[in-house]
């Protein structure tokens, strides 16, 4: 009877140990996949920061999907968006067509509108998503890119 109890306890211990080791192995494999996806995504973002594309409105239409040359089972998707700054009058809750607006407020609005237009031309958001074609795992990173060729207009 004692031997049967000892074998039962030993079997439960071995079963729990094997399940824990299996989970560790699975977590380790998933972590390696996530780490590779992150590194590929980070490399592609760094590539875009060093060599930014020529920004055009057409870039926002559809994401650009391409395979990696070194990693055949992976592909990346690049999605561009223009920066959109909300209207200050709507944020403050003030109506835009007030009849008696001070000269100071008019100049503030002109400066804000000019700054808004310039920033929207200069700053673009880029989102890079790397996907494993077999497992369908994916990883995304987002950053802001500066348009060096944007024309900044300062006159009011």
Residue 100 is predicted with a pLDDT of 57
Asked whether 144 and 125 are in contact (CB, 8 A), the reply is: yes
Provide the 8-state DSSP code for 125. Answer: E
pTM: 0.70
Residue 40 is predicted with a pLDDT of 94
Q: Give me the torsion for CA of 143, 154, 102, 104, rounded to 10°.
A: 80
Please provide residue 144's backbone torsions phi and psi, each rounded to the nearest 5 degrees: -110, 135
| Nearest by Cα to 63 from 38, 44, 50 | 44
Query: Tens place of pLDDT for every residue, the chain, 156 residues?
Result: 889 999 999 999 999 989 888 887 877 778 888 999 999 999 999 999 998 888 888 888 888 899 998 889 999 999 999 888 887 666 666 655 555 567 777 888 888 888 888 888 889 999 999 999 998 899 999 999 988 887 877 776
What ranges in 51-149 are assigned the alpha helix state H? 88-92, 103-122
């Amino acid at each position: 009877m004692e031997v049967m109890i000892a074998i039962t306890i030993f079997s439960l211990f071995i079963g729990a140990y094997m399940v824990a080791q299996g989970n560790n192995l699975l977590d380790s494999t998933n972590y390696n996949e996530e780490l590779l996806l992150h590194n590929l995504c980070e490399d592609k973002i760094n590539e875009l920061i060093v060599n930014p594309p020529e920004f055009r409105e057409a870039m926002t239409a559809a994401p650009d999907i391409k395979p990696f040359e070194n990693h055949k089972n992976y592909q990346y998707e690049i999605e561009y968006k223009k920066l959109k700054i909300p209207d200050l009058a709507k944020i403050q809750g003030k109506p835009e067509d007030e009849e008696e607006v001070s000269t100071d407020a008019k100049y503030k609005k002109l400066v804000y509108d000019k700054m808004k237009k310039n920033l929207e031309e200069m700053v673009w958001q880029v989102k890079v998503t790397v996907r494993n074609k077999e497992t369908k795992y994916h990883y995304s990173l987002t950053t802001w890119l500066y348009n060096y060729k944007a024309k900044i207009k300062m006159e009011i």
